[in-house]
Amino acid sequence: MLCSCDIMQIGPSYPSRRCQRAFTLVELLVVIGIIAVLLGILVPAVSRAREHANRTLCLTNLRAIGVAMQQYSEAFNNRLPNANPPKTSYDYDAINFVLSSFARDFVQSPASFHCPSDDNPVPSEIDTADYTLPNSARCSYDFYSVFWAPEYGPKLIKLSQAPLGWDLDGGSAKPTAQQNHGTSGGNVVFGDGHAEWQDRSKWDGPSWPNPAARFYLP
């Protein structure tokens, strides 16, 4: 560190020196380097902590949805949300209707359908199930029961070990715009009410958690 000195006059005849110390260029570069290293350590740690917190909140959302699914089944003779026409396993208008009704009558909190890691806006209400539209029941999650032809149920009593709802594209090894937690996996809620993180390697398909394939009949 350099010392810059100025001569000061003390009294009539006694000069003194006042020194101002300054960093050299090398010292400044060392300090900048240390700060860069610390940022390189701290930023990833903060990001991991934030994602861990988001996964926990996401699990809370899916548990709440799982409880609402059980309440729905009690109100509809053990059936899960499904309004597809006969012999039809996927009907756009029917899915919009049934998930909007489910959200309004049983979940009641639009934010429960939004994963905190999802970049999409938090729904202010649920009025659609279209993946691409705002205020959608499927802005962050997808739901097992809407993919069934009604002849096969689906009934909760037969699906107690099956997944009911999950993070979109949690099983995709390729990054997608709909993924909430990257390619590492996603949260899943099951028919018995428990929810857990499922690593991508365990999923039955890109957006089909295990053991969805084992229970699916249509």
Tokens describing residue 11 = 């009294």
Tens digits of per-residue pLDDT, 133-153? 999 999 999 999 999 999 998
Domain of residue 86, residue span: 26-215
What residues form DSSP beta bridges with 141? 167
Indicate the number of domains in the chain: 1
pLDDT band at residue 8 using 50, 70 and 90 as cut-offs: very low
For residue 3, is it within any domain? no
Tokens describing residue 161 = 């070990």
pLDDT band at residue 53 using 50, 70 and 90 as cut-offs: very high
Mean pLDDT of 143-172: 97
For residue 124, is it within any domain? yes
User: So what's the pLDDT on residue 46?
Assistant: 66
Average of per-residue pLDDT values in the chain: 90
CA distance 118 to 121: 8
Identify the CA nearest to 183 among candidates 168, 197, 200.
200
User: So what's the pLDDT on residue 51?
Assistant: 82
pLDDT band at residue 7 using 50, 70 and 90 as cut-offs: very low
Mean pLDDT of 25-43: 81
For residue 128, is it within any domain? yes
Judge contact between 172 and 184, C-beta under 8 A: no
User: So what's the pLDDT on residue 20?
Assistant: 57
pLDDT of 75 > 60? The answer is: yes
Tens digits of per-residue pLDDT, 201-213? 999 999 999 999 9
Whether omega before 154 lies within 30 degrees of 0, making that bond cis, reads: yes
- Parallel, antiparallel, or unpaired: how do β-strands 185-190 and 195-199 relate? antiparallel
For residue 57, is it within any domain? yes
For residue 8, is it within any domain? no
pLDDT of 10 > 90? The answer is: no
- Exposed/middle/buried for residue 57 (C-beta within 10 Å: 0-12, 13-18, 19+): middle
For residue 1, is it within any domain? no
Q: For the chain, where are the E strands, in sequence order? A: 2-10, 14-22, 141-143, 163-167, 185-190, 195-199
Identify the weakest region by mean pLDDT among 5-19, 64-78, 117-131, 199-213. Answer: 5-19
pLDDT of 159 > 80? The answer is: yes
| DSSP result, 60-98 | HHHHHHHHHHHHHHHHTTTB-S--PPTT-S--HHHHHHH
For residue 18, is it within any domain? no
Q: Distance from CA of residue 90 to its chain's centroid?
A: 25
User: So what's the pLDDT on residue 2?
Assistant: 46
User: So what's the pLDDT on residue 150?
Assistant: 95
For residue 2, is it within any domain? no
Identify the CA nearest to 209 among candidates 183, 192, 190.
190
pTM of the model: 0.79
Identify the CA nearest to 123 among candidates 113, 131, 88, 148.
113
Higher pLDDT, 187 or 41: 187
User: So what's the pLDDT on residue 39?
Assistant: 79
pLDDT of 126 > 90? The answer is: yes
CA distance 67 to 48: 29
